[in-house]
A and B are shown apart, each in its own frame.
Chain A
Amino acid sequence: MQLVAFQVVNGLVYGMLLFLLAAGLSLIFGLMRVLNLAHGSFYMLGAFIGLALVQATGNYWLAFFVAPLLVALLGAVFEILFLRPLYRREHGGHLDQMLLTVGFIFVFVDVVRSIWGGDVLGIPTPEALSGAVSIFGVFLPKYRLFIIVLGLALAATLWFFIEYSRLGAMLRAGVDDADMAEGLGINVSRMFTLTFALGVGLAALAGVSSGPMLGVHTGMDLEILIVTLIVVVVGGMGSLKGALIASILIGEADTFGKAYFPEATMFLTYLIMVGVLLFRPTGLFGIRQDA
């Protein structure tokens, strides 16, 4: 029983990390119809920029807040410079956007490698969160519990922002019908830029917060991208609720799979994806793909 609880918590930790990525990826897709395949790269950039800030200042919390902001800024510039010119192309330039973001996977990884090299680096666990606590006989690192709290808090904040704020309503209007939103005087291009910045900022936050747990290295972008894509497909493109539930589902499936069917872990994950796609082609909470 304790072992099951232990696994549930571990699955939740992984799930929360996935959520931070999937939420951004899903929002970006929902609003902009851009499948940002460089999403994992922004996660990696968050981790490396966070690492650089920790090394420069010795202060983890500074890195925790500043690295995502810097990456969000970078994301905004990226969107304006590279994605914006593609929207007006035929069929919304979807294929072009995908190729572009794939190209940037390689650009970012080479940039990171040229600055930091190919070694695996680690961000030290912040003092206040190092060590472990024992809850009902289950031994858990404090930092992992922090990740769960962080993920749930961000999920709540994002949900509140999207469901109850005016900007959130504008965002949802844009997701529903970007042209109509524009016809009501909403500056949809700026919403695109802000959403992209928010999305990749969240990915960067995931990156910098995974650093003390999983380390920082140049392969982390693709490691997380594949699973994130699965989460978004299972949860439904454009749905925050879907992203949260699918993240936890995949996180737990992965964790339990590793523990009990180690050879079939990925199989289990793909099985969930195939199952969901068979019965709900748009994902658990997917928005309609027509219009």
Chain B
Amino acid sequence: MLELKNVHAYYGDSHVLHGVSLCVEDGEVVGLLGRNGAGKTTTLLTIMGYVRCRDGSIAYKGQRLDGLQSYLIARCGMGFVPQERRIFPSLTVRENLTVGERRAGRGRWRLKDIFDIFPNLGERQKNLGCHLSGGEQQMLAIARALMLDPSMLLLDEPSEGLAPMIVEKIVQVLREVKNKGLPILLIEQNLGTALKLADRHYILSKGEICYRGTSAELEADETVKRQYLGVYAGEAAGGQGQAPRQTTV
């Protein structure tokens, strides 16, 4: 349902995406992997319309997204959870959740549901965004996207810099989201987390897709893991080393 065909994108004069093609089907969680600077975040930003798609096309449910303004892309059903969360610091937790809500009370997730999923946020709903911990901010960023009642989620490194317990919680929440049939495009540095959540994976290198395969295929392919992800046998955890070896088989 989301299909990128031969997408080229630039930052100023520097050519960042060299003809990226990928697709995410209904109900599917797709991982987008690769080393730092491979173009993962740029791919997401291009889908969201922040970075112009200069060549190629982006289609979602048969509608062209490239060339649309970001707010219209969001209104097409894209729930965007950016890197570094980008919580509105001067809005309360509650306001962060409701500020973009377009179908108040009619979506799949209401405030009440969100507070059931993330009790922390419920307790702190009157606190300002800038007073939350990193984990709470990540939860809020995901919750904020869910409150838009999206038909697809775009997640940029949701586990980055978080304590294992919180990563666990987030993985659990994303599984629930997946079970509700919501497709997800997920950028993840931590291979273990990615393998747990995603059905299929793309690996980007220097702005090009250099590998595609299912979780099982990727997990088995030591060469690809070593070459493109910097993961060696027996060290399945992501390059950052913040997460424990939760992903070893």
Contact = CB atoms under 8 A, between A and B. Distances in A.
Contacts of B80: 183-184
Given A172-B90, A172-B91, A182 B70 contact: yes
Given A176-B90, A179-B70, A189-B69, A184 B144 contact: yes
A151 to B, nearest CB: 24
B88 A176 contact: yes
Contacts of A177: 86, 88
Q: Which of A173, A175, A181, A184 has the most CB of B within 10 A?
A: A184
Interface stretch (B16-24, B58-66, B94-102): B94-102
B181 interface: no
Contacts of B7: none
Given A176-B89, A176-B90, A183 B98 contact: no
A187 B50 contact: no
A166 B99 contact: yes
B88 A172 contact: yes
Contacts of A175: 90
A134 to B, nearest CB: 44
Contacts of A287: 90
Contacts of A185: 71, 74-75, 100, 102, 148
Interface residues on A, range: 20 to 34
A170 B95 CA distance: 9
A153 interface: no
A180 B71 contact: no
B34 interface: no
B131 to A, nearest CB: 14
Interface string A149-184: 000000000000000001001101101110111111
Interface residues of B, number: 24
Contacts, number: 67
B135 interface: no
A186 interface: yes
A160 to B, nearest CB: 15
A216 interface: no
A148 B54 CA distance: 55
Nearest to A238: B90
A170 B70 contact: no
A170 B90 contact: no
Given A180-B86, A183-B74, A173 B99 contact: yes
A188 interface: yes
A173 B88 contact: yes
A182 to B, nearest CB: 4
B90 A184 contact: no
A169 B98 CA distance: 9
Contacts of B70: 179, 182-183
A40 B90 CA distance: 29
Contacts of B88: 172-173, 176-177, 180-181
A189 B95 CA distance: 20
A286 to B, nearest CB: 12
A1 to B, nearest CB: 41
Interface string B160-176: 00000000000000000
A3 B95 CA distance: 47
B91 A183 contact: no
Contacts of A188: 71
B30 interface: no
Contacts of A182: 69-71, 74
Contacts of B69: 182, 187, 189
A184 B100 contact: yes
Interface string B114-151: 00000000000000010000000000000011001000
The 5 closest A-B pairs by CB, nearest first: A184-B100, A185-B74, A182-B70, A176-B88, A180-B86
Interface of B: 48, 50, 69-71, 74-75, 80, 82, 86, 88-91, 95-96, 98-100, 102, 129, 144-145, 148
Given A175-B90, A176-B88, 6 more contacts: A180-B82, A180-B86, A183-B70, A184-B74, A185-B148, A187-B71
14 contacts: A173-B99, A173-B100, A179-B50, A180-B86, A181-B88, A182-B74, A183-B48, A183-B70, A183-B71, A184-B74, A184-B80, A184-B100, A187-B69, A188-B71
